[in-house]
Amino acid sequence: MAKAKEYWPFVKEYFFDDDTFNIQKARTVELCGKLKPLNLTWSCTSRVTTDYETLKAQREAGCRLLIVGYESGDPQILKNIKKGATVERARQFTKDTKKLGLKVHGDFILGLPGESRESIRRTIDFAKELDVETIQVSIAHAYPGTEMYDFAKKNGFIVGTERMVDDGGHQVAQIEYPGLPREHVMEMVHKFYDEYYFRPKAVFRIVRKAVFNGEERQRLYKEAKSFMKLRSARNKATKDMVAAKHAAEKTHRAEVAGD
């Protein structure tokens, strides 16, 4: 990192793309002790199990933002996916980051094993309670060779093709649980974003940044345009999926009537 600073003095921030960057406290604290004198600004991924002392060492060493996989706000879902963390631990972690002035980008996933309409609602409400800087909402996919794929395949939860994205590169729901149509999961992804970002608290945070920082204002404008474009594409993908399902059901009813 000292060499990086020497070679590229114009770089404003570095990102350590390592899922286990701060999983070992002693190693992380030692590393931060060596990064601190370099006066770098950097970000990284983090587990919600990271304790206050480790987060403090990171902050003092120049860490600005953490990308954190909260996944779900439902206790049973977290157990089902063997997350190794609880809702209470996630709450404390988030309180610690705010106390230290660390920004958090929270990742959430809908459609994990055991998901229901109620658990999705709990996750959305949990995200709003945490109120982190930004979020990303993904749809659970069953990749061949994983435990989740074997589980979904064995129980017949993978419907239609096993495609994970549409022709536009947008995520599609490939898994359907009893009582939870995949169209509903897609719809709730959109609702998740809308409920989160169109809250007064979130809007105020964004506007405040835009007003007092010209560079931030340009970045936020570009992100807003991108967000609205992606939002429109997601809505279209959901409508197309619903239309295709209705067309298939109509064809099936016609075939049955013909028989």
Provide the CATH number for the domain formed by 7-258 in this structure: 3.30.750.200
Residue at 211: amino acid letter: V
169 falls in which pLDDT band (50, 70, 90)?
Answer: confident
More confident residue, 51 or 259: 51
Sheet containing strand 42-46, strands side by side: 14-16, 42-46, 63-71, 103-110, 134-139
Angstrom distance (rounded) from CA 232 to CA 240: 12
SS3 category, 84: coil
* Coarse DSSP helix, strand, coil percentages of the chain, rounded to the nearest 5 percent: 55, 15, 30
What is the radius of gyration, based on Cα positions, of the chain?
Answer: 21
Q: How would you class 146 by CB atoms within 10 Å of its CB: exposed for 0-12, middle for 13-18, buried for 19 or more?
A: exposed
Whole-number pLDDT of residue 185: 93
Domain ranges of the chain: 7-258
242-252 pLDDT per residue, tens: 565 556 556 64
Angstrom distance (rounded) from CA 175 to CA 206: 35
Whole-number pLDDT of residue 163: 78
Whole-number pLDDT of residue 259: 64
108 phi and psi, to 5 degrees? -130, 150
Mean pLDDT over each residue of the chain, to the nearest integer: 87
Whole-number pLDDT of residue 165: 78
Mean pLDDT computed over 60-84: 97
74-106 pLDDT per residue, tens: 999 999 999 999 999 999 999 999 999 999 999
Which of 109-113, 203-207, 247-251 tops mean pLDDT? 109-113
Max Cα distance, the chain (Å): 79
Angstrom distance (rounded) from CA 92 to CA 107: 17
More confident residue, 240 or 60: 60
All residues at 6 or more sequence positions from 210 whose CB lies less than 8 Å from its CB, including other chains: 216, 217, 220, 221
Q: How many other C-beta atoms lie within 10 A of the C-beta of residue 87?
A: 20
